[in-house]
Each structure stands twice: as structure tokens, then as C-alpha cells.
Structure 1
Amino acid sequence: MIASLTGTVATVRLNSAVLDVNGVGYLVHATPNTLMSLRTGEKATLATQMVVREDSMTLYGFKDADEREVFEIVTTVSGVGPRLALAMLAAHSADTIRSAVNSQDVNVLTRVPGIGPKVAQRILLELQGKMHAPVTIADVGGPAPEAVTDERAQVIEALVSLGWSVKAAEDAVAVVLKDRGETVVVATAVPATLRGALKVLGGQHG
């Protein structure tokens, strides 16, 4: 199994990236949040999971081993393939998924595109007891959470890296926020905001 890759980022796409490792380009599928952390021409390391099927070998990349672990566990559920598991990590953090499983929260999972109530219930049932509870700040006696910060710059930077101008990116993010009735992009909403902005920009080109 290819557990990780370290190389130069050759290409960043909407749902994948190519890492040049000693002259070999590896196509890695990943979440928008992970892809946003990559910069073309710069060195990067991704935790990876290779899914082998009769007709294909596909690499999935993650920002760390923690995300990969959740991906691996989720794909043990009957009927849940790599793409749906990746969609879960695109919509929620690894800890949010763990919390949902431990609290058997159907609503969290049904926010993921492609997961309805019945599928969510099956996932929660099959994963019960398989995921440890996430560690919180209170558990380790850490400081109180910081105030909410606006992470729209992350989304704008990602859109610019995909080929749009700063102005177009800013306008698209503004449209998404207006539609939601929000004024800031919180950290957990970065992936969803990026997807919304891409839809806005795609509609302009259509």
C-alpha cells in the first residue's frame, strides 16, 4: 500500500492533484479542503490510501493520517465506496464524523450530498463502536476556543489557483455568503463555500 506521498505539486484540479515524485506523476483524488492546501510548484506531503479494483487502482489523498483513518473505517460500511467516503470528509472534519457516529446523529450525515436518512442510519449502525470519540479542548484542559475568524481568503486563494481572477473569486464568495445570509466564512464552511463559489463561476461561464 502507498501510505504517503511527498513530491512537487504539478497540477491542482477541482477534485484531484498530480504530485511529481522523482519524475513520476501520481494522480491523487482529495477533498477541496486538502486541495486548497496545495500550491503548484511547491513540495507537499499527503497521507494516501490506494483502492484496488479489477479494472483500476485509485489513490486518495488526505491532509493527515487521521483523515485517512476515518476514510478507511467509513469504507468498511456496505454500500459506501471511496467517493462517498471522500464526500463525507469534504463536508465534515474527521472529528465531526466521529462525533456523529458516537452520538448516532443522522442529521450530520444527511448533510452530505448522496446520503439520505436510510443510508445515514445504516452507516451509523455499522460504525457504532468502531470510532473513538474526538479529543476536545476541555478533555486536555486547553484554553477556551478563539473567536470566529473569516476564512474567505482561503477560498479566494483556492479559486485563484484554479484560474479565476481575484475579483471574480471575491464576487463569487460574496454571492454565496449573501445566499446563505452570512457575513463570514467559518473554518468548517470553507469546503462548502468553495463548492458554492465554483457553481456560481461555472454558471457565469455557461
Structure 2
Amino acid sequence: MISSLHGVVLHATSDQIVLDVGGVGFCVAVPGDVAHTAAVGERMLLHTSLIVREDALSLYGFADRSELEIFGLLISVTGVGPKSALGVLSHLTVDQIAEAVTAEDDAPFRRVSGIGPKTAKLIVVQLAGKVQATAPKRTASGGAANDVVDQLAAALVGLGWSERVAAEAAAQTASDATEAERASVAPLLRRALAALGPARV
């Protein structure tokens, strides 16, 4: 079993990375946010899952072990294959998945390409009790700050980024911004767009 890879990025697309490990190039399918941050020539560590099929060996890679663990849980759900599970992790963070399952809300999963209503419901039912949502983080200014971050994430989704990338970028942008910038969405949006660059399709 190949459980992790650490090497130099040779090539990256919107959903795959070729990683040079000791002179061998491994093609790894990855979530959108991992592909977006991959820079050719830089080193990267991926936690991986090797899926063995009758006609193929496929590697799936993730930025941290929590994503890998959620991937394993997702592919255990009836009707969810590796590609569909990767699609879920391209659109939703581990916390967002846990929150949806805890709230018995299948809507976030239905928005993922390849996941139908029946499969979305099965994800919620079969992952119940296996994942747990963490308590939302509160800032000194309370709910108002969270509202601005949520609005920023929604704006980024409207501009073409996945919910996952948008949520992470919004949180990071708010963390780096000044208190004055955090008072409204517009300055934060400018900061986020400058950091993200062009959206990958």
C-alpha cells in the first residue's frame, strides 16, 4: 500500500498532479484545492490511497490525513466510488462534510456533480456517527465577523470557486486582514481575489 508520497511537482491540472518521487513520476488524482496550490518545481507531501481495480491501479492524494480518512469513509458508502468521493472533497471541506452529516442535511452533497439525491441521502445516513462536526469558531466581534466571512465565501462561489476553496480562502483572508477591512465584504473580496488568482475550471 502506498500511504504517502513526498516529491517534486512535475505537472498539475485541475484534478491531477504528477509527483516525481526518486525519479519515478506518480500520477495522483487530487481535490481541486490541492491542485490549485500545486506549483511545478516545488515539493509536496500527499497522503494517498491506492485503489486497486481489475484493470487499473489508481492513486488518490490529499493534503492531510483527515481528508484521507473522510475519503475512505465516503467510498464505503453504497454507490460512492473514488471519483465521486474525490468530487465531494473538491467541493466541501472535512468540517463542512461533518456539519452536513451531523445536521442530516444532504443538500451540500446533491450539489456535487455525480451525486444524485439517493446517494446524497445514503452519505448522510451511512456516515452518521462516524464523523463529528466541530464547534464553530467565534471571533471577538462574534457573529458579525462570521457573517462577513460567510458572505465572502458565497461571493467567491458565485465567481466560480468551489465551496471548499471559497471557505478556506475566506477564512484565511479574514485572518490576514485588518479590523477595518473585516468590517465589510468588498475589501476582503479584493484581498481574496488577489491571493487566489484566476479560477481553475
Q: TM-score, normalised by structure 2?
A: 0.71
Aligned residue in 1 for 2:104: 104
| AA of the residue aligned to 1:83 | K
Q: Give the Cα–Cα distance (whole angstroms) in 2 for the partners of residues 121 and 85 of structure 1.
A: 14
1:120-139 per-position Cα deviation (integer Å, ceiling 9, x unaligned): 1122111111112235325x
Structure 1 alignment gaps of length 5 or more? 156-172, 181-185, 200-206
| AA of the residue aligned to 2:75 | T
Q: Give the Cα–Cα distance (whole angstroms) in 2 for the partners of residues 198 and 10 of structure 1.
A: 18
Counterpart check, 1:4 vs 2:4: yes
Aligned residue in 2 for 1:36: 36
Counterpart check, 1:76 vs 2:76: yes
1:151-182 per-position Cα deviation (integer Å, ceiling 9, x unaligned): 9xxx9xxxxxxxxxxxxxxxxx9xx63x99xx
Aligned residue in 1 for 2:120: 120
Q: Per-residue deviation at 1:116?
A: 2.2
| AA of the residue aligned to 1:86 | L
Counterpart check, 1:63 vs 2:63: yes
RMSD: 3.1
Q: Give the Cα–Cα distance (whole angstroms) in 1 for the partners of residues 7 and 152 of structure 2.
A: 31
Q: Give the Cα–Cα distance (whole angstroms) in 1 for the partners of residues 70 and 136 of structure 2.
A: 17
Q: Per-residue deviation at 1:86?
A: 0.5
Structure 2 alignment gaps of length 5 or more? 170-192
Q: Per-residue deviation at 1:150?
A: 6.7
Q: Per-residue deviation at 1:55?
A: 1.4
CA 1:19–1:198 in structure 2 vs 1: closer, same or farther (change >3 Å)? closer
SS for the counterpart of 1:41 is: coil
Aligned residue in 1 for 2:184: none
Q: Per-residue deviation at 1:7?
A: 0.4
Q: TM-score, normalised by structure 1?
A: 0.70
Aligned residue in 2 for 1:187: 166
Q: Per-residue deviation at 1:17?
A: 0.7
Q: Give the Cα–Cα distance (whole angstroms) in 1 for the partners of residues 132 and 70 of structure 2.
A: 10
Aligned residue in 2 for 1:16: 16
CA 1:198–1:133 in structure 2 vs 1: closer, same or farther (change >3 Å)? closer
Q: Give the Cα–Cα distance (whole angstroms) in 2 for the partners of residues 40 and 188 of structure 1.
A: 25
| AA of the residue aligned to 2:111 | R
Question: What aligned pairs does 1:170-185 form with structure 2 within 5 A after superposition?
Answer: 177=159
Counterpart check, 1:52 vs 2:52: yes
Q: Give the Cα–Cα distance (whole angstroms) in 2 for the partners of residues 197 and 36 of structure 1.
A: 9
Q: Give the Cα–Cα distance (whole angstroms) in 2 for the partners of residues 4 and 54 of structure 1.
A: 22
SS for the counterpart of 1:132 is: coil
Q: Give the Cα–Cα distance (whole angstroms) in 1 for the partners of residues 92 and 131 of structure 2.
A: 15
Q: Per-residue deviation at 1:189?
A: 8.1
| AA of the residue aligned to 1:42 | E
Q: Give the Cα–Cα distance (whole angstroms) in 2 for the partners of residues 81 and 90 of structure 1.
A: 14
1:76-103 per-position Cα deviation (integer Å, ceiling 9, x unaligned): 0011100000000111111101111111
Question: What aligned pairs does 1:125-164 form with structure 2 within 5 A after superposition?
Answer: 125-137=125-137, 148=149
Contact 2:10–2:17 (CA under 8 A) maintained in structure 1: yes
